[in-house]
């Protein structure tokens, strides 16, 4: 079955590609979940600021510096500014 070989090659290529990227960058490469991921991480930070501070900083940094989507970048800047000036207002 010739088609099966191509599917296996495709899966192997995807595995090689995904294993070569840092985990957080892989999340931001998935177009449909970028904004949802950003929102979820900020919500997590609002619930548990001490334990989620490192991840929210990393996600916001990645979104503002490495994301190609202007919508995601803009939202990340908005969240970053809001959280740095008045975290209580974000609630």
Question: For 39-80, how does the pLDDT look when each residue is reduced to its tens digit (9 = 90+)?
Answer: 999 988 988 888 888 999 999 999 899 887 888 899 999 999
| Cα separation, 62 vs 60, whole angstroms | 5
From residue 70, alpha-carbon distances to 1, 11, 23, 24, 45 in Å are 43, 30, 21, 18, 23
Tokens of 89: 């207002």
Q: Which of 15-19, 27-31, 85-89 has the largest mean confidence?
A: 85-89
Q: What is the pTM of this model?
A: 0.62
Buried b (16+ CB within 10 A) or exposed e, 54-66: eebeebbebbbee
For residues 64 and 73, is the Cβ–Cβ distance under 8 A? yes
pLDDT at 60: 92
């Amino acid at each position: 079955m010739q088609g099966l070989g191509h599917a296996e090659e495709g899966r192997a290529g995807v595995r090689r590609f995904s294993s070569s990227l840092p985990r957080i960058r892989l999340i931001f490469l998935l177009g449909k979940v970028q904004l949802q991921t950003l929102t979820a991480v900020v919500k997590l930070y609002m619930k548990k600021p001490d334990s989620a501070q490192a991840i929210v900083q990393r996600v916001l940094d990645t979104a503002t510096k490495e994301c190609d989507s202007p919508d995601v970048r803009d939202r990340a800047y908005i969240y970053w500014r809001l959280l740095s000036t008045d975290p209580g207002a974000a609630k």
